[in-house]
Chains A and B, each alone.
Chain A
Amino acid sequence: MAAMYLYEGMVAPMGVMKRVQLVFRAKANKALDRMEDPRETLDLSYQTQLELLQKVRRGVADVATSRKRIELQINQLQQGSDKLDRQARDALGSGREDLAREALTRKAGVQSQLGDLQTQYEGLQAEEEKLTNASQRLQAKVDAFRTRKETIKATYTAAEAQTRINEAFTGISEEMGDVGMAIQRAEDKTEQMKARAGALDELMASGALEDAVGGPRDDIQAELDRIGASTGVDGELERMKLELAQGSTPQLEAGAASAEPAHVVDQQAGDAQ
Chain B
Amino acid sequence: MIVRILGEGQLEVADSALAELNELDAKLESAVERGDEAGFSAALAALLGRVREIGTPADPDTLAPSALILPQADATMADVHDLLSDDGLIPG
- Show the binding face of A for B, using Cβ within 8 Å: 1-3, 5-7, 9, 13, 15-21, 23-25, 27-28, 31, 48, 130, 133-134, 136-137, 140-141, 143-145, 148, 167-168, 170-174, 176-178, 180-182, 184-185
Complexed CA–CA distance, A2 and B86 (Å): 8
User: Do residues A178 and B4 form an inter-chain contact, with CB atoms below 8 A?
Assistant: yes
- How far does the Cβ of A158 sit from chain B's closest Cβ, in whole Å? 20
Q: Give Cα A168 to B25, complex, Å.
A: 28
The proximity string for B residues 54-79 relative to A, scoring 1 for CB distances below 8 Å and 0 otherwise, is 00000011111111111100000000
With A2-B85, A25-B65, A182-B7: A177-B60 Cβ-Cβ less than 8 Å: no
Q: Given A177-B92, A182-B7, do A171 and B64 touch, yes or no (CB 8 Å)?
A: yes
Q: How far is the CB of B6 from chain A (nearest CB, A)?
A: 5
Q: Which positions in B face A, CB cutoff 8 Å?
A: 3-4, 6-9, 21-22, 25-26, 28-29, 32-33, 47, 60-71, 80-81, 83-86, 88-92
Known: A15-B22, A21-B67, A28-B65. A9 touches B84 (CB 8 A): no
How many angstroms from the CA of A180 to the CA of B7 in the assembled complex? 10
What's the minimum C-beta distance from A131 to chain B, rounded to whole angstroms? 9
- Residue contacts A-B, CB under 8 angstroms, 24 given: A3-B85, A5-B84, A17-B47, A20-B71, A23-B84, A24-B69, A24-B90, A27-B90, A31-B92, A48-B92, A134-B7, A141-B62, A141-B63, A144-B60, A145-B63, A148-B63, A167-B65, A177-B90, A177-B91, A178-B6, A180-B90, A180-B91, A181-B89, A181-B91
**Which residue from chain B places its CB closest to the CB of A168 in the assembled complex?**
B63
| B68 engages A181 (CB within 8 Å) | no
Q: Decide if A15 touches B4 in the complex (CB within 8 Å).
A: no
Complex CA gap A171/B89 in Å reads 18
Pair A16/B6 contact, Cβ less than 8 Å: no
Nearest CB of B to A260, in Å: 81
Task: Report whether B91 and A144 are in contact in the complex, using a CB–CB cutoff of 8 Å.
Answer: no
Residues of B within 8 A of A144 (CB): 60-63
**Cα(A230)–Cα(B66), bound, Å:** 77
Which of A15, A168, A174, A184 meets B66, CB within 8 Å?
A174
Name the residue of chain A whose CB is nearest to the CB of B31: A16
A-B complex: 9 closest residue pairs judged by Cβ atoms:
A171-B63, A180-B91, A15-B25, A140-B60, A2-B84, A177-B90, A144-B61, A17-B68, A20-B69
